[in-house]
Each structure stands twice: as C-alpha cells, then as structure tokens.
Chains A and B, each alone.
Chain A
Amino acid sequence: MLMLAGIVVVHIATIIMLLVATMDSAWWVTETESTDLWYRWKFSDSAWHYTNVDNYQDAVEYFQTVQATSVLACIFAILALCVFVAQLFTLPKGHRFAFTGFLQLIACLCIMTAASIYTNTLHTNDSNGWYGHSYILAWVSFVLSLILTITYLVLRKKNE
C-alpha cells in the first residue's frame, strides 16, 4: 500500500514539474529578462513587461520542436497516470503495467528531447545569463520519469 502511494506521489510530482517547466517562461534568465518557451518577460522602467520571443531567427524549427516535445511530455505523463489507475483495476494478476510504462517512457523521451535540443542549439555562446528554474525542472522531471518508467516496467500486480 505504501509503495503504491509512493509511486502515485512521485508520478504526480513529475507531472507538476513538467507542467511548470512547460508553462513558466523561465528557461533562460538574465538580469533583465526571463525568456522561453512561449513568451518573454523584460524588465525595464522598474516593471516587468510581457513581450514576444523574436530572436531565434536561425533556429525557429528547433525552438518550435522544443515547444512541441515539452507539451507532449506533459500530455503523456498525465495519460500514464490515468492509465495506471485504470490498470490497477483491469490488469490480470501477475502482469506488468506495460501500457503505463510505455506511455511514461514516451514522456521521458519527449522531455529529454526538449531539454537536449534546447541545450544544444540555443544560448550556446551566451555568457550573459543562466538557465532558469523551468530548465532545471525539465531535467529533474526527466530523471524522475525515467525512474518511474523502470518502476512500471518491473512492477507486477500482486498475485494472491
């Protein structure tokens, strides 16, 4: 029972982290701006202003791929939780949670793709700034979802 609760808690934490990483525009932060993936916050005249992202002209496709894969990671993580709860009731005894593990694996791969593409193609020569909390959460949720994938693929339903 405790293990079940633990797994569900970790899964929900992963979903929350993925959602924050996707929705919060804080992948790259400098003194005066907090940017990516959807909008940019610029600090001027002692107030934060909400503007568009408009300077990755040579990496538009990569940027939009990061957007798409991070959204997909959120969707698949939430789907995996729903399928896990459903499989708790419908899976025959002794079987593995294969479908849940499969969905969670796709979520893990998606967020890994997003974070990797972002690291490799954007802000590579930019020394004026640092990675923000959304970026860090993206990598942490990758690790957690990897652990969850392995857990689901190894876990078997209790055979009594």
Chain B
Amino acid sequence: MLTFLALASVLLLGIVPERSQAIVIYTGWERHGLVGSDIRLSCSFFSWRWTSEDVTFSWTYRPDGSRDSISIFHYTGGVPYVDNKGPFRDRLEFVGNPGRRDGSILIKNLDFSDNGTFTCDAKNPPDIVGRPSSVRVLVFETVPIQAGVITGAIIGVVLGLLVLIVVIYYLMRFLVARRVFSLSVSKHGKKKKEGPQQRQLWTPPPLTCYPLP
C-alpha cells in the first residue's frame, strides 16, 4: 500500500512539470475615447511560471463590421515591433513593461475608423495555452453622460445619513433607558420608567386608524 502510494506520487510529480498550465490574459472589456485623444489599451497576464525571457505579446485589430483581423503589434525577444504599414502607422506606441507582465499599447489621435475590437495574445513559454482577450474601443465625439460619480455620491451620502440618523436615534433611546435603571430617584427617571411599562401593557393594535377630531 505504502509503496503503491509512493510510486503514484513520484509518477504524478514527474508528469506535472511536463504539462504547461493555462495562461490567463486580462484586458479591459470596453474603452471609450474622444476623437483626437489618446487611448491606452492595457494587457496583462497571469501565469504560474516565472516571466520568461521569451515572453511575447501581440495585438490584433478587427474593425467594426469586418470579419478580418490585422496584426498591429508584436513584442518578442525583448524588442517591440509596431505597425508601420497598416491603419495605425505612426500612431502606435508600446508603453508596457514586459518584465512586469504588462503589454499595454497607446494609440494616439483616435479617429472614428478606429472603432473595433483589439485582441491581446500573450505567451509565456512554456505556458502557451490560453485564450486571447479582447477589448472593444468606442470613439465618441463627446463623452456620453451616464450615471456617474456625482449620482452615486449623492445617493450614497443621503442613504448613509439616513442609516446614521436611525442608528443614533435608537442608540440614544437605548442609552437613556439604561441610565434610568442606574439612577435611583429622579423626576426624569420616573417619567422614562413609565414609558417602557406602557409598552409592555400594550396589546396588538386594531387595523384601523382615524384622525382624532
């Protein structure tokens, strides 16, 4: 039994380093940009292995409505190769840090023709099995107003104030009730003592309520 376990564990330990595990690539989901501005597309990856010297990053671009992708950036052997013939010539810049697993690119002077999907594929040998990740770029003339920071801030502050007020109210009632039981004789104490007693004698209410004349 023990020998069988020992053999099995040695076999498993032997097999695992031969297999490469999956690499997980992270980009954004959607990026908005104004016409004429610069946009930074980030790409990073998670891998169980150390970052190798042969790490590669490649970006491809597929315009909206088209089915073909075009390769626009490749980093390999420590050298970044940017697009010098395609739609992004002279507009693409590598701003990543491959040593830190960052393969981000910067696209300058956005235009409406840049609407589309950018796909980042990273490989960290021997970790090469993974799914490339895509980020959608939307170019606007003016930035759309959606529910933004101010909206959330106002809602959060008001609700927080309400919760605070309710908590403080019940805390004060609780504290005053406790002070009553520690005080022996006082007019304030007597008045408050009657309060809780009244509540104990109170029975469940009828389901009617009319205003007093």
Contact = CB atoms under 8 A, between A and B. Distances in A.
B155 A64 contact: no
Interface in B141-191: 141-155, 158-159, 162
Report the contact-size class of chain B (Cβ under 8 Å from the partner): 20 to 34
A75 B155 CA distance: 10
Contacts of B151: 64-65, 67-68, 71
A52 B146 contact: yes
Nearest to A3: B210
A46 B145 CA distance: 26
A154 interface: yes
Nearest to A156: B212
B211 interface: yes
A93 B198 CA distance: 10
B205 A71 contact: no
A155 B155 CA distance: 30
Nearest to B158: A72
Interface residues of A, number: 35
A63 interface: yes
Given A93-B202, A159-B212, A38 B147 contact: yes
Q: Among the interface residues B141, B153, B207, which one has the most CB atoms of the partner chain A within 10 A?
A: B207
Given A68-B155, A88-B205, A57 B142 contact: yes
A82 interface: no
A53 interface: yes
B206 A158 contact: yes
Contacts of B140: 54
Interface string B101-112: 000000000000
Interface of B: 140-155, 158-159, 162, 198-199, 202, 204-212
Interface of A: 1, 3-4, 38, 52-57, 60-61, 63-65, 67-69, 71-72, 75, 88-89, 91-94, 106, 154-160
